[in-house]
């Protein structure tokens, strides 16, 4: 039905606009973790999210935020489920999302190779503050599992880098 589709699309936009609890500059849509918003019946919606990392502690907060937003849109019965397949990749972060990360001071992830995982050294990470490519790795794990800590050798500022996954 056309009306259902339009409503679903509207709800999907509402879900997609929810900010990420850890990185509030990004929306869930820009992060690429909304897999589906399905109207199951009148006032009943199921949302499929995919976690960035298996142990991502933000997923429960995301589910609560999504439920609250959909209730504000008149959906009393919301179920949020997580799907693992296909696995999330940093390639799912939108161009706008990458731009916002850099603006926020987090170096965005580089494109992954097949299978993801560490990108070989040589492909450097650009400093989000001064744009220099002369940056070094300080720690493979930073404030969250999805980020590494680096330092810019030009402007000497430390910065987070969203690791390729």
Strands (E), 42-121: 44-49, 77-82, 106-107
Residues 100-119 that bind another protein (CB under 8 A): 115-118
Q: How many residues bind another protein (CB under 8 A)?
A: 27
CA 60/CA 109 separation, integer angstroms: 24
Beta bridge partners of 145: none
Which position among 51, 94, 129, 151 is part of the footprint of another protein (CB under 8 A)?
Answer: 51
Beta bridge partners of 77: 44
8 phi and psi angles, rounded to 5 deg: -60, -40
Nearest to 49 by CA among 66, 26, 70, 74: 66
Q: Choose between 56 and 70: whose C-beta lies nearer to another protein.
A: 56
Q: Choose between 53 and 104: whose C-beta lies nearer to another protein.
A: 53
Is 121 a residue that touches another protein (CB under 8 A)? no
Residues 69-88 that bind another protein (CB under 8 A): 84-88
Both structure tokens of 125: 């990470």
Is 138 a residue that touches another protein (CB under 8 A)? yes
Q: Which residues bind another protein (CB under 8 A)?
A: 51, 53-57, 84-89, 115-118, 138-145, 149, 163, 165
């Amino acid at each position: 039905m056309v009306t259902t589709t339009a409503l679903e699309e509207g709800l999907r936009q509402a879900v997609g606009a929810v900010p990420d609890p850890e990185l509030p500059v990004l929306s869930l849509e820009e992060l690429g973790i909304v897999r589906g918003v399905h109207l199951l019946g009148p006032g009943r919606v199921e949302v499929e999210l995919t976690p960035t990392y298996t142990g991502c502690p933000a997923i429960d907060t995301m589910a609560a935020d999504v439920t609250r937003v959909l209730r504000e849109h008149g959906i009393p019965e919301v179920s949020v489920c997580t799907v693992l397949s296909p696995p999330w990749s940093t390639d799912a972060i939108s161009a706008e999302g990458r731009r916002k990360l850099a603006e926020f001071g987090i170096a965005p992830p580089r494109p992954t190779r097949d299978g993801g995982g560490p990108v070989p050294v040589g492909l450097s990470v650009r400093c989000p503050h001064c744009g220099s490519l002369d940056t070094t790795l300080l720690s493979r794990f930073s404030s969250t599992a999805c980020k590494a800590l680096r330092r810019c050798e030009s402007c000497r500022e430390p910065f987070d880098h969203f690791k390729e996954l």
